[in-house]
Amino acid sequence: MAGIRAPIEARVIATDRVRYVGEPVAIVVAGDRYLAEDALDAIEVTYRPLPAVIDPEEAAEPDALVLHETASGNIVSERRFSYGDPDAAFAAAPHRVSVKIHYPRNTGSPMETYGVVAEYDPHEATYDVLANFQGPFSIHAVVARALKVAGNRLRLRMPPESGGSFGVKQGVAPYVVLVAAAARLAGRPVKWIEDRLEHLAASVAATNRVTTLAAAVAGDGEILALDWDQLEDCGAFLRAPEPATLYRMHGNMTGAYAIRHLRMRNRVVLTNKTPTGLVRGFGGPQVYYALERLMARIAAELGLDPLAVIRRNLIVPDAFPYRSASGALYDSGQYQLALDMAVREGGLAELEARREQARAEGRLYGIGFAAVVEPSVSNMGYITTVLSPAERRKAGPKNGAQATATITLDPVGSVTVQVASVPQGQGHRTVLAQVVADELGLHPRDIRVITELDTAKDAWSIASGNYSSRFAPAVAGAAKCAAERLRARLARIAAAQLNAVPDDLLFAGGRIASRRNPESALPFARVASTSHWAPGTVPEDVGEVIRETVFWTPPELTAPSEADETNSSLCHGFIFDFCGVEIDRVTGKARIDRYVTMHDCGRILHPGMVEGQIRGGFVQALGAAFYEELAYGEDGAFLAGTFADYLLPTAPEVPPLDILHIETPSPFTPLGAKGVGEGNCMSTPVCLANAVADALGAEALDLPLTPAKLAALAGDAEPPPPPGQEAGAAPARTGARTLRGEGRALVRAAPERLWAMLLDPRVLASLIPGAHGVRKLSETRFQADVTLGVGPVKGRYKADIELSDLAPPHAVTLSGSIAGALGGGGGKGRITLAPQGDGRTAIEYRYEAFVGGKVASVGGRLLDGAARVIIGQFFAALARRTGDAPSGWRGLLARLTALLGSRR
């Protein structure tokens, strides 16, 4: 938890309070998964529902419900920063432009879920765990501490490849603890493969964030200062390495722009949602959505061309290496050149012509832009910016980014490369084989690359792992360094045998030859095997040339300064995107006419791999822009538990993508390469949103850009309902899932008689749909077993019913809750009885109800309807029992029936 000292226990399994849907409450070990799930069904968990706090802004209020009773509030960290003189800049600026963004929750959703196989050896007191963990390996220390063993008693092994991660597989760590503990208790190895429902509900989400960003702007669009207010929602627990999402971008909060004055307030708040963690883009999407929406708004409000506003503020080429206001050292860049090339080669003029024509024809067409600095190779010290300088002094400095590579020469002189990175499809083997082969004058197919990692045997450090786009710049660079060192030493062995000087030797074509005298040559394998077979022939000061391990960390990654200047990342690539989008007036669907993405990721190591990263990142960003949201109801119910609710883009949704490159090598990395994997996750959502905003003339625009949202912005006012039909109250907000209803009826009976009926447990029993038997706990409390369902979806539940606020014979409140394997629900209804003076009584009721748990997560689309049917059944029964079902009730029933349907 990055040294934040909030008095909160971050457990991997709930003990007596559950704080988010998906939080583990029990673990079953069985012979197979089928049996384990049978056993889970047999566990009866009794939940006492507590109010939930879902909205980060509400959670941040002083009087908010507090998630952790040991803490004083939900805000677990607050820091303010000031760089330059933002107050003066804002005071002097002629314009102030601001945006407020509610960035939603989404996730990387790899196709392979988490998997853990754990074993405990009681004699060695050692855990041996195989997991598709992706790093950072600083978390190894966290897991060992959670298991209460020293680091050398936790052997963590990672497979040679895993089925995608996109950051998310960092989040397997708490399950490593859980499964390892289970293995210890069970006394045998335990395997756990997460299922998709578990994964969507409770693996890792990116943070949702509320950002208010303001700019002090000159008349020509020059930005004089920025003022960030970020409220970061990390879910129910702050899990390592959070709140890193909020600080990963700290050095580059001014993006691609030369802005010298900067004010920031960062707050971290906890809510009743799944804890957050690494997701591709990691903080970038949240920051750039605000920053690039702001750029578009500045243009709109000042009547300037959006591209001109971007150009006006870009960092100029001779400023590199450029120290940003908040302390990042941008390594290299040619932003203007990239922009000009993209505009020219990407055909911006043509898009503008198309927009003009579309608009002339009354169609909705917009163009969007985004300019983004893509950080890569995280400084392990950036997260300590969350601490005050005094706290940092006390804790000691943290910095660097150790990358590790080992090259081994075996007795036949063949070459094996091993790195402390754990690939999930990024092509480590392809690229490393090429890098090392180039250095040693071999063919890539001669090189064997091993990508599994074993913390008990391999070289690794806290920064090990595959995240923050560190492979090409750092890990491949470390492999190059190791190969260089080996080569230098092999050259000395060869020089001794060839009677040449090492500098004269050329490594090429599997041979080591003298440049001056190419006849004088040795096979590479023979030289490479010398230390095995004839160590006596190796020159004394060369040492054994069998294995070379390099730990590489860049000196630029220093600890945060006393003034909170933070060089959060080593490399800073540049992306400039633009796109044309048309919105269908009928369906609200956005069609991407063209999308152009210009990348400068330094030196390109392998064009195919770079293109793969860009295309993959682009489509994930497309998902974030239009389809994906880990949605919650205001009651805390999780609503996106299946792939029919959490919508990943599929092939028919993906538009053509024009990819352009310029290469400005990084002076800070061995190969001149920078990261490239995350950039489009940062640039694409906002570029698309800017185009949509341009098409619709929209000011505020939050993701995801659903057709319903866009259609509402595109359309006119809705025609009113026909006379006699109610419009129905619109829900107060998205996520409001409370079902509400009310009714009134006149019956021919005195209030006293009705009152007696309502308090009669037998009557009550007959009102509860599917009740198997009612137990009376007291005069006002009842319990029942009920079978509820719609169509084939049926479950057994325990129901609790209570009467309260009794005012005989005028009013009573009826509240109930149900719980079962499929989830739970509850509701409350107030019933009032008013005598009419003519022997009749007016019965009025109002109810509200909710459904939560598994049914809400996996079947929200259908089962909200089902809940209404069940509530309908209850009130239909109430109506029937209250006597003669007069006309008022019939009207209500007809309405309920029409609305809900009911089984005939």
Partner 1 sequence: MKPPPFAYLRAESVEQALTALRQHGDEARILAGGQSLLPMLNMRLTRPAILIDIMRIGALREATVSNGMLAVGAGMRQASLLGRASLAREVPLLAASLPWVGHYQTRARGTVCGSVAHADPSAEIPLCLIALSGSIRLRSARKRRTVPAETFFTGTMMTERADEEMIEAVLLPLAKPGCGYAFAEAARRHGDFAITACAAVAEADRLRLAVGGVADRPVARDLPRLDGSALDDALNDFAWSLGARDDMHATARYRRDLVRKLGRKVLEEAVSCRR
Partner 2 sequence: MPQMKAGSRHPVRFTLNGAPASIEAEPRTLLSDALRHHLGATGTHVGCEHGVCGTCTVVIDGAPARSCLTLAVQAEGCDIRTVEGLSPLADRLGILQAAFRRHHALQCGFCTPGILMSLDIFLKSASSPTEEELRDVLGGHLCRCTGYAPIIAAALDAAAALREDAHV
Closest CB 896 distance from partner 1, rounded Å: 11
Residue 781, amino acid: R
Residue in 72, 517, 561, 650 binding partner 1, rule: CB under 8 A? 650
Give the DSSP letter string of 191-223.
EEE--HHHHHHHS-BPPEEEEEEEEEE-TTS-E
Structure tokens at 214: 């303001």
Q: Which of residues 721-750 bind partner 1 (CB under 8 A)?
A: 721-722, 725, 727-728, 730-731, 734
Using rule CB under 8 A, residue 629 touches partner 1: yes
Using rule CB under 8 A, residue 31 touches partner 1: no
Question: Residue 749 phi/psi, 5° resolution?
Answer: -160, 155
Q: Indicate which of partner 2, partner 1, none lies near residue 406 (CB less than 5 to 8 Å, by partner kind).
A: none
Identify which of 871, 870, 834 has the alpha carbon closest to the alpha carbon of residue 740: 871
Identify which of 598, 565, 674 has the alpha carbon closest to the alpha carbon of residue 329: 565
CA-CA distance, 301 to 290, in Å (whole number)? 16
Structure tokens at 608: 């195919």
Block residue for tokens 């409390």: 781
Closest CB 627 distance from partner 1, rounded Å: 6
CA-CA distance, 557 to 459, in Å (whole number)? 21
Using rule CB under 8 A, residue 108 touches partner 2: yes
Residue in 386, 486, 630, 657 binding partner 2, rule: CB under 8 A? 657
Residue 807: alpha-carbon gap to chain centroid? 51
Using the contact rule CB under 8 A, the part of the chain among 140-148, 307-315, 714-722, 808-816 near partner 1 is: 714-722
Using rule CB under 8 A, residue 608 touches partner 2: yes
Other C-beta atoms within 10 Å of 526: how many?
A: 17
Block residue for tokens 């990024």: 426
**CB within 8 Å of 170: residues ≥ 6 apart:** 133, 134, 135, 136, 139, 204, 241, 277, 278, 465, 467
Contact letters (x/-) for partner 1, 574-613, by CB under 8 A? -----------xxxxx------------------------
Other C-beta atoms within 10 Å of 425: how many?
A: 18
Using rule CB under 8 A, residue 502 touches partner 2: no
Residue 753: alpha-carbon gap to chain centroid? 58
Q: Which is nearer to partner 1, 773 or 792 (CB)?
A: 792
Residue in 452, 759, 864, 883 binding partner 1, rule: CB under 8 A? 864
CA-CA distance, 660 to 895, in Å (whole number)? 59
Residue in 28, 66, 337, 648 binding partner 2, rule: CB under 8 A? 648
Asked if residue 609 lies in contact with residue 70, where contact means CB atoms within 8 angstroms, the answer is no
Using rule CB under 8 A, residue 712 touches partner 1: yes
Residue in 50, 793, 807, 894 binding partner 1, rule: CB under 8 A? 793
Using rule CB under 8 A, residue 164 touches partner 2: yes
Q: Indicate which of partner 2, partner 1, none lies near residue 902 (CB less than 5 to 8 Å, by partner kind).
A: partner 1
Using rule CB under 8 A, residue 620 touches partner 2: yes
Residue in 95, 102, 157, 196 binding partner 2, rule: CB under 8 A? 196
Residue in 158, 246, 822, 870 binding partner 1, rule: CB under 8 A? 822
Using rule CB under 8 A, residue 465 touches partner 2: no
Using rule CB under 8 A, residue 32 touches partner 2: yes
Contact letters (x/-) for partner 1, 187-226, by CB under 8 A? --------xxx-----------------------------
Closest CB 317 distance from partner 1, rounded Å: 42
Residue in 855, 870, 871, 876 binding partner 1, rule: CB under 8 A? 855
Closest CB 426 distance from partner 2, rounded Å: 7
DSSP structural state of residue 257: B
CA-CA distance, 774 to 8, in Å (whole number)? 42
Using rule CB under 8 A, residue 707 touches partner 1: yes
Closest CB 193 distance from partner 2, rounded Å: 8
Using rule CB under 8 A, residue 5 touches partner 1: no
Using the contact rule CB under 8 A, the part of the chain among 173-181, 498-506, 753-761, 895-903 near partner 1 is: 895-903
Question: Residue 356 phi/psi, 5° resolution?
Answer: -60, -45
Using rule CB under 8 A, residue 618 touches partner 2: yes
Give the DSSP letter string of 416-459.
EEEES---SSS-HHHHHHHHHHHHHT--GGGEEEE--EETTTS-
Closest CB 620 distance from partner 2, rounded Å: 7
Q: Which of residues 624-643 bind partner 2 (CB under 8 A)?
A: 642-643
Closest CB 791 distance from partner 1, rounded Å: 3
Q: Which is nearer to partner 1, 667 or 721 (CB)?
A: 721
Residue 854: alpha-carbon gap to chain centroid? 21
Using rule CB under 8 A, residue 110 touches partner 2: yes
Residue in 332, 854, 871, 889 binding partner 1, rule: CB under 8 A? 854
Using rule CB under 8 A, residue 786 touches partner 1: no
Cβ-in-10-Å burial (0-12, 13-18, 19+) of 577 comes to buried
Using rule CB under 8 A, residue 38 touches partner 1: yes
Structure tokens at 312: 């006006």
Q: Indicate which of partner 2, partner 1, none lies near residue 790 (CB less than 5 to 8 Å, by partner kind).
A: partner 1
Closest CB 134 distance from partner 2, rounded Å: 11
Asked if residue 613 lies in contact with residue 473, where contact means CB atoms within 8 angstroms, the answer is no
Q: Which is nearer to partner 1, 51 or 652 (CB)?
A: 652
Residue in 859, 871, 875, 879 binding partner 1, rule: CB under 8 A? 859
Other C-beta atoms within 10 Å of 360: how many?
A: 8
Q: Which is nearer to partner 1, 303 or 728 (CB)?
A: 728
Q: Which is nearer to partner 1, 152 or 734 (CB)?
A: 734
Helix (H) or strand (E) holding 895: helix 887-900
Asked if residue 102 lies in contact with residue 155, where contact means CB atoms within 8 angstroms, the answer is no
| Contacts of 788-795 spanning 24+ positions with Cβ under 8 A | 788/818, 788/870, 789/866, 790/862, 790/863, 790/865, 790/866, 790/869, 790/870, 793/822, 793/859, 793/862, 793/863, 793/866, 795/820, 795/821, 795/822
**CB within 8 Å of 813: residues ≥ 6 apart:** 803, 804, 805, 828, 829, 830, 831
Give the DSSP letter string of 484-544.
HHHHHHHHHHHHHHHT--GGGEEEETTEEEESS-TTSEEEHHHHHTHHHH-GGGS-GGG--
Q: Which is nearer to partner 2, 357 or 650 (CB)?
A: 650
Using rule CB under 8 A, residue 900 touches partner 1: yes
Helix (H, G, I), strand (E, B) or coil at 663: coil
**Count of residues in contact with partner 1, rule CB under 8 A:** 68
**Count of residues in contact with partner 2, rule CB under 8 A:** 39
Using rule CB under 8 A, residue 658 touches partner 2: no
Closest CB 576 distance from partner 2, rounded Å: 19
Using rule CB under 8 A, residue 194 touches partner 2: no
Residue 310, amino acid: I
CA-CA distance, 281 to 832, in Å (whole number)? 55
Residue in 791, 838, 884, 887 binding partner 1, rule: CB under 8 A? 791
Identify which of 569, 818, 589 has the alpha carbon closest to the alpha carbon of residue 688: 589
Using rule CB under 8 A, residue 862 touches partner 1: yes
Provide the binding-site residues for partner 2, judged by CB under 8 A.
32, 34, 108-113, 161-164, 166, 195-196, 424-427, 608-609, 611-612, 615-620, 642-644, 648, 650-652, 654, 656-657
What is the binding site for partner 1 (CB under 8 A)? 33-34, 37-38, 41, 195-197, 585-589, 627, 629, 631, 639-640, 642, 644-645, 647, 649-650, 652-653, 706-708, 711-712, 715, 718-719, 721-722, 725, 727-728, 730-731, 734, 790-795, 821-822, 854-855, 858-862, 864-866, 869, 898-904
